[in-house]
Amino acid sequence: MSDVIKAAFSLQDYRICKFSLDLDQNPKNEGIDISFDPEGIFHSKTKIFELILDFRAFKNPESKESPYLNARIHAFFQFENVSTLKEVPDFFYRNSVAIIFPYLRSFVSTLCLQANLNVLILPTLNLTSLEAPLLKNTKEQE
């Protein structure tokens, strides 16, 4: 049996780089619609994959132009045994979003609590549907 080189990765850091909360809308927890927009940048020199995940919460499905809560999280994953974007395994795209989601979930709840709103507790979600958009929206940089 030959030795298989596994692509190991680890979360190095994350930041909430941008967020906004529109208190004028002050939504209740009923009828909230959420969306995610992922993108990625693989930095080939440093072997770091930067995941950028935009989160939006809307008062109701009809108000897609004006979310009452926006948050953008940047997560930095360090790779071993991967030098190019093509070497990043497919399972990473699904797992990277699942790894960073609890940090975003906690931030959203804390932000709403501190603003004295009804606390928005995002449920545990199956985020496998974000794998394809992340793969499509990923590019490589040196």
Instruction: List the domain boundaries for the chain.
Output: 8-141
Domain 8-141 adopts which CATH fold? Bacterial Protein-export protein SecB (3.10.420)
Backbone angles phi, psi at 45, to 5 degrees: -65, -40
Say if residues 59 and 32 touch (Cβ distance below 8 Å): yes
Q: How confident is the model at residue 24 (pLDDT cuts 50, 70, 90)?
A: confident
- Express each pLDDT in 48-91 by its tens digit: 999 999 999 887 666 566 788 899 999 999 998 899 999 999 89
Instruction: Find residue 40's DSSP bridge partners.
Output: 51, 138
Compute the residue count for the chain: 142
Its pTM surpasses 0.85: yes
Q: Given a cut of 60, is residue 131 above it in pLDDT?
A: yes
